[in-house]
Each structure stands twice: as structure tokens, then as C-alpha cells.
Amino acid sequence: MTHLDSILYQVNKPARYTGNEWNSQVKDWDKTHIKIALAYPDLYEIGMSNLALPILYDRLNSQPDVLAERVFAPWVDMADAMRKAGLPLFSLESRRPLKDFDIIGFSLGYELTYTNVLNMLDLAGIPVLASARDDSHPLIIAGGSCVLNPEPMADFIDFFVIGDGEEVVLELLNYLREWKGRGQKAPKKQLLAQVATIPGIYVPSLYQVEYGGDGVIKSITPIVAEAATTIERRIVSRLPPPVTKPVVSYIEAVHDRGAVEIQRGCSRGCRFCQAGIIYRPVRERTHEEVLPAVGELVANCGYDEVSLLSLSTSDYPGIGQLVNELSHRYPNLTLSLPSLRLDSSSVALVDSLPNRRKTGLTFAPEAGSQRLRSVINKPTAEEEVLETAAVAFDRGWTGLKLYFMLGLPTETVDDVAAIVQLVARVHSLGLTAKGRKPQVRVSLSTFVPKPHTPFQWVAQDSEEQLNAKHELVRTGLRRRGIRLSWQEPKISLLEAAASRGDRRLGQVIHRAWQLGSTFDAWSERFNYENWLRAFTESGLNPAFYAQRERSLDELLPWAHIGVGVTTSFLKRENRRALQGEETPDCRHQPCNVCGLERWQPDCRQKYRQLSQAQ
């Protein structure tokens, strides 16, 4: 019996650690030149629902001299059992220890998984601090939406991949082939200086950060010639064909269905939304690409449900036609459409889906009052919200789920009260429709100001302010037929500190992990006291990062990361927000000159049309 066999029976859901799933690829270890572990710092069920992982897995494994294997964060029971048994963290495909790989690439999509990165490295027997690793250790790299502010993880990661990964990973491989060709002894330092010249690669050890007496950053300076002053996000101008043979989980994943990304990017310009900025511009896959991809996905994986993914599905051109065509071609398939616009045409669209269940429809007004919806540039009119609800109830839905955010910039008590009033009106519409008993579920999240958004300078509400607002909604909505769920504000406070943190935050993350913090996004594991202690012992204050309003001229920790959208556009949007002015969606309206017109052919064309018209 191997070490692994002897501990699997002691842990929950052992299938998280067994591998061998349908479509997983096991290459010959000894005959494959470059070995990459794709690491997801959260549970298997969550990581297996991630969209980027299958793309990289497919792309890397398509190279004959490369093998890419997966590894997820073991839950606490497994991590304890592994430590006790002296079993180092291993990949799912070949069950090789992670330290035998050339590269371990982490996908960072949520700041509260940072301590899991450290825990995974430690479980693998790899020093967590980049400065403590030598040439015998694998390169530790990271990509994903969080790395648009890479600084909090700068102490642990050798280099970051900024933006779309599809093209840049192949460019990286060329450097690795050459590096490995020179023998394992070739110094890592040399490789880091070389990869720093690839657009989109950020090597934090090649930059020096200086702080002023007030704790604010004074300068971020490259210390070698190879390091660029600004690292520009990689953008693939045309989306490559979708992955149609992903690994199929044996246990239920969070999104237990196939997925085809029908478009990337969103042009709506909601001011709180980081994804709306960091995935610009909009790139669509044609119907001709999507239709066969869905069929292949079903044939290769046996799915009976496929999700058409996009940040704003209603905006995809000809979505109704696509759904129609898919329903004809695959009559037994259930289609799901996330992220729908709040309007009656979305209800009609969902109603047209084959095999749909009429249990629940989800919409995100985000703010209760029209004033605040204008501030955040998600200007759905109250009448539209009510009409959509009425149409949904009328067509037979009994359940509606509404998402709201608390703590948005300029929010007043009246705005919070408006959430209660709006939900109550929606609920009463359900009561009058066909004598049914409606269920309105309200999900409250806390606004977290994110880097590279027009709200990147604003202060987050304090815990006391947030608690008072929560209380207002809780008391206001205490009635039959309305269910309220919310996220613990302390978790959002930590998320705000981590997402706008600078390099010094590395000490805090390191200390919190040493104190036992892992899986911080899980309420049963979240230990705020640990984090407060870690901040104090590091001589830092979480409020400095979360609750401090920055001046528009402050040098922000992510100032050297270029996302394509300019700071002047973000400042303009910030000013317009405070004046309650809306900015139109640039998909159907003139270009708003966000900065991408400098790079992207489509945007450039639109920008030219605008300039000519003026």
C-alpha cells in the first residue's frame, strides 16, 4: 500500500486526490522535456469549474515536449494527513511530487486564496519565499485576475503572467526549452532576466519599491535594463477555438456542466467591476465556432448541460438565434445562460431555453436606488426592474434571486432603504401573479474597491458602517417569502486590504499562514484575529489599505501594470461617478476613448469613426 492509499480512506471526498478522470492526459514522464504543474489554490470542486485551467491544460499538453498536470489545494483533513504521513504534495496525473516539476503555475482569481498558495508550496517541500529558493527548485509563476495587482504576492512568486495566457505561455516555452537545453544548472536568475523581456511578464525581484514616511509609495523602479517601466497586459485579439475535451470531474464540481466561452470582455462600463476593465475589449466567438463546440463537448464529456459563458450574455450578438439553433441541434441538452441583463427580453430568452427549470431567475440590480445605479454606471430604471419581475412571475417563475452590493461609493441610508423598498415591490408583484407564492432571495455582498477601476481610489466602508447597513436591510426584509443571505463583512474587509495591497503585505500573508490561516474564503476557516495579529506584527494597519481614500495623484502599488485602459479614463469615470453622470456602453455608442483604441484594431476603427464625426 502506498502512502497515498493509506491516507485516502481517512479523508473526505478522496476523489479530490485520485486523478484518472475522463480526458485527463498522462504523458510519459521520462520522455517529456518540460514539466508544468497547473496549481489551483482552492478545493478540487472549485478549481475544476475554473475556465482558464482547461485552456492552459489543453494548450500546454498540445505541445509534444510538454506535459501539464493539475494540482488543487488539499482540504485541511488531507493536508494534515499528508504532513503526518510525510507525503509531499503531488500532481493528479502522474502523482509526482510538485518539486519534480520545472514550473508550478498558480491561477490567482481570488485574494483570499493567497495563504493556500503558501500552504501548497510548503506541503510540496518548497520554500514559500522566492528569496529562499535556489536553482534546484521549480519556478513558481502566477496568472489570473488577481495578478493585475501582483504586489501582495511579490515575495512568493518568481514571475507573473499579466493578461490573456493563450499566446504568452507558448512564447515562454521557447525560453524554457532553451534554458533546459543548457542544462538544469543554468542559473534561474539569468532566465528571469530573459523572460522579463517578454511583453506581459512581470518579474517582481527586478523592481525596487520605495515608500515615503506616510507609508505611501514614492517610486517603483526597474533595477535591470531588461525590466520594462510598465508591464502591459497581454490581449489575444482573436479568441482561439474553445476547449472541447476538458477533464471531467468524477465528483460534483461547483459548476457541474460543460462550458463554452462565447465572448470575452464587456463594454458596459460598470464602475465597480474589475472584470469589465481587465478583460476589455469585447471579443466574440462566431456562431459557427460555438455550435460545433457544444456538440463536441457533449460527445467528448457526456454532459447534458452546457453553459454559454460571458460577462454579459444578453449582449452577445444573435444570442436568441444561437440558443434556437442549439436547441434544434441538441434537443436533449439543457442550456444555461449566466450574467443576463435585467430586462424582459432576458426573461423571454431564458423562457425559450430547452429543458429549462422554472425554479429561479437571477438578476443583479446591485443598488436599490436609481441615483446610486447611475453612480456605478449600471443605470437600470426602477420601472424596468419591476417590469422584468412582473414578466417573470407572469411566465410562471416563482423564484427570483436579486444581487445587491452594500457600501458602494456615495451610498446613503436612503439608498440602503431603497433596496428594501425595491425588493418588497418585486415580492408583491409575485403575490398578485396567478395566485402563486413567490420566493425572492436577496444576496448582499460588500463593495470591495478594486485596482484598475474608476473606484480604485475610494475608501471602503468600515465594519461598523457595514454592520449598520446590513441591519437596516435585515430588519426591513424580515417577512415571509423573502430570504436574505449575506457575506460576512470582515471577509470583504480583508479582501479589500489584499486587493489594494502593496509589497509589504507579503509579510502579513506569510505571518497569517504561519498562524494557521488557510482557506480564508471559507467562513468556517476564516480567522480574522489571525489576520489582525499578522498585520500588527508586520507593523501595518488593514485600514490603511481598505478604508483610506487615496488622492487621484497617489502612486498606486499597481501603477507599473498597464491594463490598456488609461488612468486618465479611470479618473474621468471617477469624476463622472461622483457627479452621478452615466457613460454609455461603447459597443453600440461612440467610443469612450478608454485607452484601448491605442492597441486594438476594432477599437481603433471605432475611435477613428468618432474622431471623423467630431
List of residues contacting ligand SF4 (CB under 6 A): 267, 280-281, 586, 591-594, 596-597, 603, 606-607
Three-class secondary structure of residue 194 per DSSP: helix
Closest CA to 546 of 491, 497, 492, 488: 497
Closer of 279 and 447 to ligand SF4 (Cβ): 279
What's the closest the beta carbon of residue 584 comes to ligand SF4, in angstroms? 10
Three-class secondary structure of residue 230 per DSSP: coil
What's the closest the beta carbon of residue 399 comes to ligand SF4, in angstroms? 35
User: How remote is the C-alpha of 591 from its chain's centroid?
Assistant: 26
What's the closest the beta carbon of residue 148 comes to ligand SF4, in angstroms? 17
What's the closest the beta carbon of residue 314 comes to ligand SF4, in angstroms? 18
Cell of 588: 453600440
What's the closest the beta carbon of residue 391 comes to ligand SF4, in angstroms? 30
In sequence order, which residues have a C-beta less than 8 Å from that of residue 218 and are 6 or more positions away? 210, 211, 212, 555
Closer of 241 and 601 to ligand SF4 (Cβ): 601
What's the closest the beta carbon of residue 594 comes to ligand SF4, in angstroms? 3
Question: Alpha helix locations (H) across 342-408?
Answer: 344-351, 370-375, 382-394
CA distance 297 to 304: 10
Closer of 156 and 607 to ligand SF4 (Cβ): 607
CA distance 427 to 559: 45
Question: What is the CA angle 544-553-531, rounded to 5?
Answer: 15
What's the closest the beta carbon of residue 281 comes to ligand SF4, in angstroms? 4
Closer of 227 and 596 to ligand SF4 (Cβ): 596
**Using an 8 Å Cβ cutoff, are 266 and 279 in contact?**
yes
**Using an 8 Å Cβ cutoff, are 366 and 409 in contact?**
no
Three-class secondary structure of residue 247 per DSSP: coil
Closer of 352 and 605 to ligand SF4 (Cβ): 605
What's the closest the beta carbon of residue 194 comes to ligand SF4, in angstroms? 32
Closer of 165 and 269 to ligand SF4 (Cβ): 269
233: phi then psi, degrees, rounded to nearest 5: -60, 140
State the amino acid at position 295 in one-letter form.
G
Closer of 177 and 604 to ligand SF4 (Cβ): 604
β-strand 201-202 against 159-161: which pairing, if any?
antiparallel
What's the closest the beta carbon of residue 236 comes to ligand SF4, in angstroms? 15
Closer of 107 and 600 to ligand SF4 (Cβ): 600
**Using an 8 Å Cβ cutoff, are 490 and 517 in contact?**
no
Closer of 280 and 450 to ligand SF4 (Cβ): 280
CA dihedral 158→162→166→170, nearest 10 degrees, is -40
β-strand 139-143 against 159-161: which pairing, if any?
parallel
